[in-house]
Structure 1
C-alpha cells in the first residue's frame, strides 16, 4: 500500500502531505479543486503518469526483489519524481529510468481509467477459475504441476526432434561437407610445431652457401698453427690455452659443416611448398592446433550424422509418449474448467447485476497447447465484444473480475486507482459500485474520486480537496466533517438539514 504521499509545487498545489490508510480511500471536492491533478501526481510519483511538479513522492510497503531490480529493499520503499530542467525518477534515492519505475509499479498498481485489458488476459482468467476449483477441494494445482512438467519436457524433446529432422533434410550436404573438411586436413596431415621447424630449415638453407664460404676462408688459420706453437716454445710459454682454443674452433667449424652438409638432400622447393600448405591451414583455421581440433569436431559430427536415424527413432518414441501424456493431462484440466465455467459465469453475473450491468457471456474454446493448457476463456458483455463496450461498462466489468479474484486472495493485491468510476450513475448504481469496492478494499488499497454521496459514504478514509483562494489544499475529514461534505454533494453549496440527515444515515449505514 501507499503509506505516505508528498507533493510540492504543482499547479495550484503548493505543498501537501497525505497519510492514506488501507482500504477504501475517497477523494471529494468541488469541481476544479484539483482532485484529478492530485491523482495524476500520485501516479507520476510511481512512473505511470507524468506531471510538472517539482517533487512528488510515495512511500510504499511493496517488497522489492533486490536481485532482480538491483535496488535494496527497505521496510518502506520511497518512489520519487523530481522535475527541474528535466524529469528524474528515484527509488530509495537510487536513480532509475521512468520505464524501470513504471514496470516495477505495474506489479502492484492498477489504474482503472482507460481501457486496460490485462485483467481479461487469458492467463489471468484461467488463474481465477483454477483458484476457484482448488478451493472446492479439487487438487487442480497438483494436476497443473504435472501438466507443466510434462509440457516443458515435451517441448524440449520436440525442439530436439525438429532440429534432427531439419538436419536430416540436409544430411547429404552436411555429410559431404564434413567429409570434405576432414579429407582436406588429413591430406596435408599437419603436425604440431611442424611449421616452426620448417621455417628454421628454410632459414638455414638460405644462409648455407654464405656460411660455408666464410668457414672455408677461415680454415687457413689452421695452416699457421705450428708457427704459433714454435713461437710459444721459444718464449717458454704454455701452449695449452692456444691448443684448446684451436680445438674448440676446429670442432665448431666441423659441426657447422656437418649440419649444412646434412641439408644437401633437402629439396628447398618441397620445403617451400610444405610451408605454403601449412600457411593455408593457418589462414583458414588460425593455427595447426585449431585445424586439428576442427578435424576432430567434424569427425564427431560425421559420426552423429551417420547415427542420426538411431537418435531420431528414440526421440520419436519419447515424443509420442510425452505428447499422449500432455494431451491426457490437458484434457483433465479442460474437464475441470468446463465444470467450473457455469458457476464462474453465474457469480460474475451476480456481481454485474449488483453493478447494474447486463449479463456477460463466458465461453471456453480450444487453442494451441501452452504452459497452462489448451483452454482460452472469452468474455462478452450482453453479446458485445469488450473493445466495443463503453469505458464505464468496461471498468465496472473489470471490478467484477477483480471481485471474483479477491474472493480467494490470501494476501494484499496492491493499489487500485479509480477516477470518478461512479460518474453518470444513479444513486442505486453508485451504491452498488461502492459495495463492490468495499469488498475489494479487504484486499486492495483503493483510491477513488467520487461526486456521489453513496460511494463517498462507503469510504474508510475521506480526503477533501478544496481551494483556499488560488491554492489547492487537502484535508482528512472527521465523521462530522464528512457529514457536511456529503451533504454538500447532495444539495450543493446551500446545505439543507435534510441533506445533512441523509448524509448521516449513509455514513452510519456504511459502518
Structure 2
C-alpha cells in the first residue's frame, strides 16, 4: 500500500501531506478544489503520469522486485518525482528514468481511468477460472504443472526438429563445405609453432653465405693461438683464462658452422612456398591454432550431419509422445474449465448486475496449444466486443473481473486508482458500485474521487480537498466532519437537516457493515 504521500508546489497546491490507510480511500470536495490534480500527482510520483510539481513523493510498503535496475528493497520504499528544470525520478534516493519507475510500480499500481486490456488477457482470465476450479477439484494445480512441464519440453523438441528440418534442406551442401574446409587445412597440415620455426629458417637462409664467409675469416685466429700462449708463458702469466676463452669461441664457431652448413640441404623454394601456405592459413583463420580448432569444429559438424537422420528419428518419437501427452492433459484441463464456466459466468454477471451493466457472454474455445493450455476465454458485454463498449462500461467490467479474482485472493493486490467511477450514476447505481469496491478493498488499497454520497459513505478513510482562497488543501475527516461533507454532497452548500440526517444514517449503516 501507499503509506504516505507528500506534495509540494503543484498548481493550486503549496504543500500537502497524506497519511494513508489500507482499504477504500475516498477523496471528495467541491468542483475545482484540486482532487484530480492530487490524484495525478500521486500517479506522477510512481511514474504513471506527468506533472510540474516541485516534489511529489510516495512511501510504499511494496516488496519491490527491482534487481534488474539495481535497487535494494527497503522496509519502506520511497518513490519520488522532483521538478527543477528537468523532471527527475528516484527510488530510495537512487535516480532512475520515468520508464523504469513506471515498470517497477506497474506490478502494484493500476489506474482504472485508462482503457487497459491487461485484466482481460487470456492468461489472467484463465487464472481466475482455474482458481475457481481448484476450490472444488484440487487436482487442477497438479494437472496444470504437468501440462506446462510437458508443453515446455514439447516446444524445445519442436524447435530442435525445425532446426534439423532446415539443416536437412541444405545438408548436402553443408557436408560438402565441411569436408572441403577440413581437406583444405589437412592438405597444408600445419603444426603448432611451425610459422615461428619457418621464420627463423628464412632469416638464417638470408644471411647464410655472409655468416659462413665471416666464420671462415674469423677462424684464422686459431692459427695464431700458440703465439699468444707462448707470450703468456714468457711473461709467467696464467694462461688458463685464454685457453677457456678460445675453447668457448671454438665451440660457438663450430656450432654455427654446423647449423648454417645444414641449411645446404634445404630447398629454399620449398621453404618460401611453405611460408606462403602458412601465411595464407593465418590470413584466413588468424593463427595456426585457430585453423586447427576450426578443423576440429568442422569435423564435429560433419559427424553431426552424418548422424542427423538418427537424431531426427529420436526427436520425432519424442515429439509424437509429447504431442499425445499435452493433448491428453490439455483436454482434461479444458473439461474441468468447461464445467466451471457456467458458475464463472453467473458470478461475473452477478457483479455486473450490481454495477448496472448488461450480462456478459463468456465463451471458452480451443485454440493452438500454449503454456496455459489450449483454451481461449473471451468476454463480450451483451454480444459487444470489449473494444467497442464505452469507457465507463469497460471500467465497471474491469471492476467485476477484479472482484471475481479477489474472491480467492490470499494476498494484497496492490493499489487501484479510480477517477469519479460513480459519475453520472443514480444513487442506487452508485451504492452498487460502492459495494463492489468495498469487497475489493479487502485485497486492494483503492483511491477514488467521488461526487456521490453512497460511495463516499463506504470509505475506510475520507479526505476532503478544498480551497482556502486560491490554495488547495487536504484534510482527513473524522466521523462528524464526514457527516457534514456527505450532507454537502447531498444538498449543496446550503446543508439541510434532512441531508445531515441521511448522511449520518448512511455512515452508520456502512460502518456497521
TM range (shorter): over 0.9
Deviation for aligned residue 1:172: 0.4
1:471 corresponds to which residue?
471
2:257 corresponds to which residue?
257
1:65 corresponds to which residue?
65
Deviation for aligned residue 1:166: 1.2
Unaligned runs of 5+ in 1: none
Verify: 1:330 aligned to 2:330, yes or no.
yes
Deviation for aligned residue 1:192: 1.4
2:507 corresponds to which residue?
507
Q: In structure 1, how many angstroms separate the alpha carbons of the residues matched to 2:94 and 2:370?
A: 38
1:310 corresponds to which residue?
310
* Cα 1:342/1:233, change in 2 over 3 Å: closer
Deviation for aligned residue 1:299: 1.1
1:369 corresponds to which residue?
369
Task: Please tell me the root mean square deviation across aligned C-alpha atoms, in Å.
Answer: 1.7
2:422 corresponds to which residue?
422
Q: In structure 1, how many angstroms separate the alpha carbons of the residues matched to 2:226 and 2:382?
A: 129
* Cα 1:506/1:198, change in 2 over 3 Å: same
Q: In structure 1, how many angstroms separate the alpha carbons of the residues matched to 2:65 and 2:272?
A: 65
* Cα 1:55/1:223, change in 2 over 3 Å: closer
Deviation for aligned residue 1:307: 1.0
Q: In structure 1, how many angstroms separate the alpha carbons of the residues matched to 2:115 and 2:227?
A: 117
Unaligned runs of 5+ in 2: none
* Cα 1:402/1:247, change in 2 over 3 Å: closer
Alignment of 1:72-87 (within 5 A): 72-87=72-87
Alignment of 1:388-427 (within 5 A): 388-427=388-427
Deviations 1:322-370 (A, max 9, x none): 1110111111111111111111111111111111111111111222211
Q: Is the 8 A contact 2:453 2:503 kept in 1?
A: yes
Deviation for aligned residue 1:22: 1.1
Deviation for aligned residue 1:293: 1.5
Q: In structure 2, how many angstroms separate the alpha carbons of the residues matched to 1:272 and 1:123?
A: 70
Q: Secondary structure at the match of 1:201?
A: helix
Deviation for aligned residue 1:197: 1.5
Q: In structure 2, how many angstroms separate the alpha carbons of the residues matched to 1:416 and 1:375?
A: 29
Deviations 1:238-294 (A, max 9, x none): 666555544544444333322222211211111010011111111111211221121
Deviations 1:77-129 (A, max 9, x none): 11111111111111111111111111111111111112111111111100000
Instruction: Give the TM-score normalised by the residue count of structure 2.
Output: 0.96
Deviations 1:164-214 (A, max 9, x none): 111111110110011001101111111111222222111111111111212
Deviation for aligned residue 1:474: 0.9
Q: Secondary structure at the match of 2:397?
A: helix
Q: Secondary structure at the match of 1:72?
A: coil
Q: In structure 2, how many angstroms separate the alpha carbons of the residues matched to 1:307 and 1:413?
A: 53
1:101 corresponds to which residue?
101
Q: In structure 1, how many angstroms separate the alpha carbons of the residues matched to 2:35 and 2:237?
A: 121
Q: Secondary structure at the match of 2:207?
A: helix
* Cα 1:422/1:194, change in 2 over 3 Å: same
1:217 corresponds to which residue?
217
Q: Secondary structure at the match of 2:184?
A: helix
Q: In structure 1, how many angstroms separate the alpha carbons of the residues matched to 2:142 and 2:253?
A: 90
Q: In structure 1, how many angstroms separate the alpha carbons of the residues matched to 2:500 and 2:138?
A: 52
Deviation for aligned residue 1:150: 0.4
Q: In structure 1, how many angstroms separate the alpha carbons of the residues matched to 2:252 and 2:297?
A: 48
Q: In structure 1, how many angstroms separate the alpha carbons of the residues matched to 2:253 and 2:91?
A: 83
Q: Secondary structure at the match of 1:190?
A: coil
* Cα 1:464/1:252, change in 2 over 3 Å: closer
Q: Number of aligned pairs?
A: 511
Deviation for aligned residue 1:227: 4.7
* Cα 1:237/1:140, change in 2 over 3 Å: closer
Q: In structure 2, how many angstroms separate the alpha carbons of the residues matched to 1:351 and 1:236?
A: 127
Deviation for aligned residue 1:65: 2.7
2:273 corresponds to which residue?
273
